[in-house]
Amino acid sequence: MAARRPRPCLVCGALTRNASRCDTHQQQWQQQQDRTRGSAHQRGYTQQWRTTAARAVARHRTERGDWCPGWRVPAHASSDLTADHIVPKAAGGTDDPENIQVLCRSCNSRKHAQST
Protein backbone atom coordinates (compact mmCIF):
# COMPACT_ATOMS: atom_id res chain seq x y z
CA MET A 1 0.00 0.00 0.00
CA ALA A 2 1.44 3.36 -1.04
CA ALA A 3 1.88 6.13 1.51
CA ARG A 4 -0.38 9.14 1.20
CA ARG A 5 1.15 11.51 -1.35
CA PRO A 6 1.80 15.09 -0.23
CA ARG A 7 -0.60 17.64 -1.66
CA PRO A 8 -0.07 21.32 -2.32
CA CYS A 9 -1.49 23.70 0.31
CA LEU A 10 -4.57 25.50 -1.03
CA VAL A 11 -3.15 28.84 0.06
CA CYS A 12 0.61 28.82 -0.59
CA GLY A 13 1.13 25.66 -2.64
CA ALA A 14 3.74 24.16 -0.29
CA LEU A 15 3.54 20.37 -0.22
CA THR A 16 1.87 19.02 2.90
CA ARG A 17 0.55 15.71 4.19
CA ASN A 18 -2.42 17.50 5.77
CA ALA A 19 -5.82 17.20 4.05
CA SER A 20 -5.72 20.53 2.22
CA ARG A 21 -3.47 23.10 3.88
CA CYS A 22 0.08 23.34 5.26
CA ASP A 23 0.41 23.53 9.05
CA THR A 24 0.59 27.34 9.07
CA HIS A 25 -2.42 27.86 6.85
CA GLN A 26 -4.37 25.07 8.51
CA GLN A 27 -3.96 26.97 11.77
CA GLN A 28 -4.96 30.30 10.20
CA TRP A 29 -8.01 28.71 8.64
CA GLN A 30 -9.01 27.22 11.98
CA GLN A 31 -8.73 30.62 13.66
CA GLN A 32 -10.88 32.14 10.93
CA GLN A 33 -13.51 29.44 11.51
CA ASP A 34 -13.47 30.26 15.23
CA ARG A 35 -14.00 33.95 14.49
CA THR A 36 -16.95 33.17 12.21
CA ARG A 37 -18.54 31.16 14.99
CA GLY A 38 -17.82 34.02 17.40
CA SER A 39 -19.68 36.58 15.30
CA ALA A 40 -22.69 34.26 14.93
CA HIS A 41 -22.70 34.06 18.70
CA GLN A 42 -22.63 37.87 19.01
CA ARG A 43 -25.64 38.20 16.71
CA GLY A 44 -27.63 36.15 19.23
CA TYR A 45 -27.78 32.96 17.20
CA THR A 46 -26.38 30.77 19.88
CA GLN A 47 -26.38 27.00 20.02
CA GLN A 48 -29.09 27.35 22.67
CA TRP A 49 -31.34 29.29 20.30
CA ARG A 50 -30.81 26.74 17.53
CA THR A 51 -31.88 24.00 19.94
CA THR A 52 -34.92 26.02 21.06
CA ALA A 53 -35.86 26.76 17.45
CA ALA A 54 -35.49 23.13 16.38
CA ARG A 55 -37.66 22.06 19.31
CA ALA A 56 -40.34 24.64 18.44
CA VAL A 57 -40.45 23.41 14.83
CA ALA A 58 -40.62 19.77 15.96
CA ARG A 59 -43.49 20.54 18.33
CA HIS A 60 -45.32 22.51 15.64
CA ARG A 61 -44.97 19.52 13.27
CA THR A 62 -46.35 17.14 15.91
CA GLU A 63 -49.32 19.38 16.64
CA ARG A 64 -50.16 20.72 13.18
CA GLY A 65 -48.05 18.81 10.66
CA ASP A 66 -46.21 20.44 7.74
CA TRP A 67 -48.36 23.53 7.85
CA CYS A 68 -47.40 27.21 7.86
CA PRO A 69 -49.88 29.52 9.66
CA GLY A 70 -48.97 32.17 7.10
CA TRP A 71 -47.69 35.69 7.56
CA ARG A 72 -50.05 38.17 5.84
CA VAL A 73 -51.11 35.26 3.62
CA PRO A 74 -53.56 32.41 4.29
CA ALA A 75 -52.22 29.33 6.04
CA HIS A 76 -50.69 26.86 3.62
CA ALA A 77 -48.89 23.54 3.52
CA SER A 78 -45.10 23.73 3.79
CA SER A 79 -42.39 21.37 4.94
CA ASP A 80 -39.73 24.09 5.05
CA LEU A 81 -40.55 25.38 8.52
CA THR A 82 -38.43 27.75 10.58
CA ALA A 83 -38.84 29.25 14.04
CA ASP A 84 -38.51 32.96 14.67
CA HIS A 85 -38.98 35.44 17.50
CA ILE A 86 -42.32 37.28 17.63
CA VAL A 87 -40.69 40.15 19.53
CA PRO A 88 -37.12 40.41 18.15
CA LYS A 89 -34.26 39.82 20.56
CA ALA A 90 -33.02 43.32 19.75
CA ALA A 91 -36.34 44.69 21.04
CA GLY A 92 -36.12 42.72 24.28
CA GLY A 93 -37.75 39.48 23.10
CA THR A 94 -36.85 36.26 24.84
CA ASP A 95 -36.32 32.63 23.78
CA ASP A 96 -39.47 31.63 25.68
CA PRO A 97 -41.86 29.37 23.77
CA GLU A 98 -44.52 32.15 23.94
CA ASN A 99 -42.21 34.41 21.96
CA ILE A 100 -41.51 31.86 19.26
CA GLN A 101 -43.47 31.65 16.04
CA VAL A 102 -43.15 28.92 13.44
CA LEU A 103 -43.44 29.98 9.81
CA CYS A 104 -42.23 28.59 6.51
CA ARG A 105 -38.97 29.97 5.21
CA SER A 106 -40.59 32.24 2.64
CA CYS A 107 -43.11 33.74 5.12
CA ASN A 108 -40.28 34.24 7.56
CA SER A 109 -38.13 36.13 5.08
CA ARG A 110 -41.13 38.20 3.94
CA LYS A 111 -41.78 39.10 7.56
CA HIS A 112 -38.15 40.14 8.02
CA ALA A 113 -38.18 42.16 4.80
CA GLN A 114 -41.24 44.13 5.93
CA SER A 115 -40.27 44.69 9.52
CA THR A 116 -37.00 46.41 8.66
The neighbour count for residue 38, using CB atoms within 10 Å, is 9
Asked if residues 14 and 8 have their Cβ atoms less than 8 Å apart, the reply is: yes
Q: Does the footprint of Zn ion cover residue 68 (CB under 5 A)?
A: yes
In this chain, which stretch among 17-25, 28-36, 55-63, 80-88 interacts with Zn ion, using CB under 5 A? 17-25
Nearest of 53, 47, 65, 44 to residue 99 by alpha carbon:
53
Q: Which is nearer to Zn ion, 1 or 5 (CB)?
A: 5
Q: Which is nearer to Zn ion, 11 or 57 (CB)?
A: 11
Q: Does the footprint of Zn ion cover residue 104 (CB under 5 A)?
A: yes
Q: Does the footprint of Zn ion cover residue 56 (CB under 5 A)?
A: no
- How far apart are the C-alpha atoms of 90 and 38, rounded to whole Å? 18
Nearest of 49, 62, 59, 56 to residue 82 by alpha carbon:
56
Q: Does the footprint of Zn ion cover residue 25 (CB under 5 A)?
A: yes
Q: From the CB of 108, what's the least distance to Zn ion, in Å?
A: 8
> What is the binding site for Zn ion (CB under 5 A)?
9, 11-12, 22, 25, 68, 104, 107
